[in-house]
Amino acid sequence: MPQTTPLPPGTMIGILGGGQLGRMLSLAASRLGMRTHIYCPDPHSPAFEVTAHRTVAAYDDEAALAAFAAAVDVVTYEFENVPAATAEFLAARKPLRPGANALAISQDRLAEKAFLASKNIPVAPHYPVATLADLDAAIAALGLPAVLKTTRLGYDGKGQRVLHHLDDAAQAFAALDPKPLVLEAFVPFEREISVVVARNLAGEVKSFDPAENVHRDHILFTSTVPAAIPAALEKHAGMIAKAIVIALDYVGVLGVEFFVVPGDQRPTLLVNEIAPRVHNSGHWTEAVCLTNQFEQHIRAILGWPLGDPARLADVVMQNLIGDEVLAIPAALTGHAQPHLYGKTEGRAGRKMGHVNRLQPKL
């Protein structure tokens, strides 16, 4: 029978994935009186530090998954590459929120673009590329530059190459795996924005203000709110995000990344990708919103009413990558709120924490 009453404090929430997003979800759940059980193959997962219940096992270990399912009341996840078989196995035993359909769509760039296009949501022109001949045809259709991407398992710029010359094509095709690939037209965007949106079990939808995102070395560097875009475009981005969660019958928080493209009259939006989870570009909500994205996700999957996403101050979120975390605490001047993830090893390119710098409306 579908759940109609909100799950009570003391509910055990199972979280797949033990990175910083799982850690922050666990902290938010704890603040609402919930317990969390983190499942992750990596024994050094930062999320393990903030909860008493853990499973260290592979995502295809059915015995471990069965024991995990038996120990929790509801299952969620902090990353979109949860294997389909794992999602199905768990969904057969306990409510999985968001559902397996959101994972299937967001794991595959072609499925994602087809889904968005079927809902009349604009995406960059693109062609599937399974062979070199497909790539030649796609380049002939789209022109250069263009961006060649894996359809699966890409993140932080991994799994993609910008093609500038015809000569780049064969080498890029050979280098990118797994196949198939997708060739996207190069979007001459003026900026990138994202919207974090939530939908709960009752179908209530609320979104946070759009953030303007700047990447450095393909990794998110800053999210600034408000974004420097017209109010009508902010509203439009929120409407697209809402349409996506409704179309997916989604439960939880979802991130939608957009390109803002200059137009004749006014800028327009293309959706770059969606992420069925709390999102790095929503970390600013921790510092300046009545309800932050982590609490919102937990509320949504428990069947609770959504919280108020109202924003109380302007803010810039900056990721701390690798050694940048060593600048803390000295860099905490002004209205700076740090959040460090407790990672012991500061490899280059690794997200170690973030700082929210507030501009309070005094």
Contact residues for ligand AMP, defined by CB under 6 A = 124, 147, 154, 157, 160, 184, 186-187, 192, 215, 218, 257, 272-273
| Cβ proximity to ligand AMP, 143 vs 157, nearer residue | 157
Q: Least distance to ligand AMP from the beta carbon of 161, Å?
A: 11
| Cβ proximity to ligand AMP, 123 vs 205, nearer residue | 123
Q: Contact, 99 vs 105, CB < 8 A? A: no
Angle between helices 168-175 and 132-142 (to 10 degrees): 130
| Cβ proximity to ligand AMP, 218 vs 266, nearer residue | 218
| Cβ proximity to ligand AMP, 7 vs 103, nearer residue | 103
Where does 280-352 have alpha helices with state H? Answer: 285-288, 293-302
| Cβ proximity to ligand AMP, 73 vs 184, nearer residue | 184
Classify 329 as helix, strand or coil: coil
Nearest-angstrom CA–CA distance, 283 and 318: 9
- Going by C-beta distance under 8 Å and a sequence separation of 6 or more, which residues neighbour residue 147? 160, 161, 162, 163, 183, 184, 185, 186
* Distance in angstroms between the alpha carbons of the first and the last residue of the chain: 50
Q: Least distance to ligand AMP from the beta carbon of 155, Å?
A: 7
Q: Least distance to ligand AMP from the beta carbon of 273, Å?
A: 5
What amino acid occupies position 350? Answer: R
| Cβ proximity to ligand AMP, 44 vs 218, nearer residue | 218
- Going by C-beta distance under 8 Å and a sequence separation of 6 or more, which residues neighbour residue 99? 91, 248, 249, 250, 251
Please report, to the nearest 10 degrees, the dihedral formed by the alpha carbons of residues 51, 18, 343, 287 taken in order. -80
Q: Least distance to ligand AMP from the beta carbon of 186, Å?
A: 5
Q: Is 227 exposed, middle or buried (0-12, 13-18, 19+ CB in 10 A)?
A: buried
Q: Least distance to ligand AMP from the beta carbon of 214, Å?
A: 9
Q: Least distance to ligand AMP from the beta carbon of 275, Å?
A: 9
| Cβ proximity to ligand AMP, 122 vs 307, nearer residue | 122
Q: Least distance to ligand AMP from the beta carbon of 284, Å?
A: 17
CA dist list (Å): 241 to 101, 195, 234, 256, 288? 17, 7, 11, 6, 21
